[in-house]
Amino acid sequence: MKVRIINKSNNDLPQYQTVASAGVDIRANNEETIVLGSLERTIIPTGLFLEIPEGYEVQVRPRSGLAAKHGITLLNSPGTIDADYRGEIGVILVNLSKDAFEIKQGERIAQMVFCKHETFEFEEVEELSDSERGSGGFGSTGKK
């Protein structure tokens, strides 16, 4: 399947790193190094614009290496890009470490995963059918 893309960055197009990769890395497109202080957040531009096929979304997810080694993750993870969005992809990074982190031009900052989805109609009712779990939530199936 093909996805139409405009690349206004100086980076190569996103690509799968291995044959079994689910996501493609996306890179920062900032003219100057961005310093993200402890507990700070910012939107990092990518210079990428997508035409996502209808019936799909793109999930923007953290990179495990940045999270494990530096405490850098995505604030709204996963972020969803809808098929009708045509603007630049921006990545909301947050620094959860106590050390400042530099984001340089071309640094791999997140990954994109293309996901098929369905749309549903809502049917308003007075009650829902029973289930084994019922209304138990927030840890109700785990350790007590």
Structural contact between residues 23 and 111, judged by C-beta atoms closer than 8 angstroms = yes
| Domains of the chain in sequence order | 4-14+32-116 (2.70.40.10)
Structural contact between residues 79 and 92, judged by C-beta atoms closer than 8 angstroms = yes
Residue recorded with tokens 């953290």: 62
Question: pLDDT per position in the chain (144 positions), as tens?
Answer: 899 999 999 999 999 999 999 999 999 999 999 999 999 999 999 999 999 999 999 999 999 999 999 999 999 989 999 999 999 999 999 999 999 999 999 999 999 999 999 999 999 999 999 988 888 777 766 665
Task: Please tell me the pTM assigned to this model.
Answer: 0.87
